[in-house]
Amino acid sequence: MEKPKDKPEVEVSDAALRDLVGYNMKRAFNVVQADLARTLEPFGLRMLTFSALSMIVENPGLRPSQLAGALSVERANVVVYVDQLEEAGWVTRAPSETDRRAYALQCTLAGRQVYDKARAAVRAHDRRMLDGLREVEIAAVKKALMRIEGLG
């Protein structure tokens, strides 16, 4: 049997995987995720705490279980996000008027201020990620992504 040669200098090919949109999506998303984390870090936010804060700003009085549904995460994990946002003084847990088990999540003035700044930074990050793409291409990407999401 002939010995297997190793490839110390030759370029590694991933052509078979490149065919797959999922592979390209994972690699692109890794880049986006890393850049977004760097973008949010100065604000003391992470991807999911920023998303949660955004949801609370957009939907005042939102309840944790609704937040879990909107973010597609478990209720148990939402507790951690809200804890962090509450400790930072950006979100409050007000008692619900209609259900004594539930809370109405509200964002504070400080929360609104950090959100506005973080949102501007995130939008700049998003534009950076799309740099060099034409509007029609961006639209195609958004449409495709939302269609894919709808399959799940």
Partner DNA sequence: CTTGGGTAGTTATGAAATATAACTAATGAG
Partner DNA sequence: CTCATTAGTTATATTTCATAACTACCCAAG
Binding site for DNA (CB under 7 A): 46, 48, 63-66, 68, 73-80, 82-83, 93, 96, 98-103
77 binds, among a copy of itself, DNA, none (CB under 5 to 8 A by kind): DNA
Distance CA 72, CA 75 (A): 9
Closest distance of CB 42 from a copy of itself, Å:
17
Least gap, CB of 88 to DNA (angstroms): 15
Q: How far is CA 112 from CA 40, 43, 126, in A?
A: 15, 12, 20
Tokens found for residue 9? 């200098």
Cβ closest to DNA, residue 20 vs residue 80 = 80
Residue 101 binding target from DNA, a copy of itself, none, CB below 5 to 8 Å by type: DNA
Of the pair 13, 98, the CB lying nearest DNA is at: 98
The 3-state DSSP class for residue 11 equals coil
Contact yes or no for 88/108 (Cβ under 8 A)? no
Q: How far is the CB of 41 from a copy of itself (least distance, A)?
A: 15
C-beta closer to DNA: residue 20 or 79: 79
Amino acid type, 15: A
In whole angstroms, what separates CA 116 from the centre of its chain? 16
Structure tokens at 42: 């100065």
Which residue type is seen at 124? A
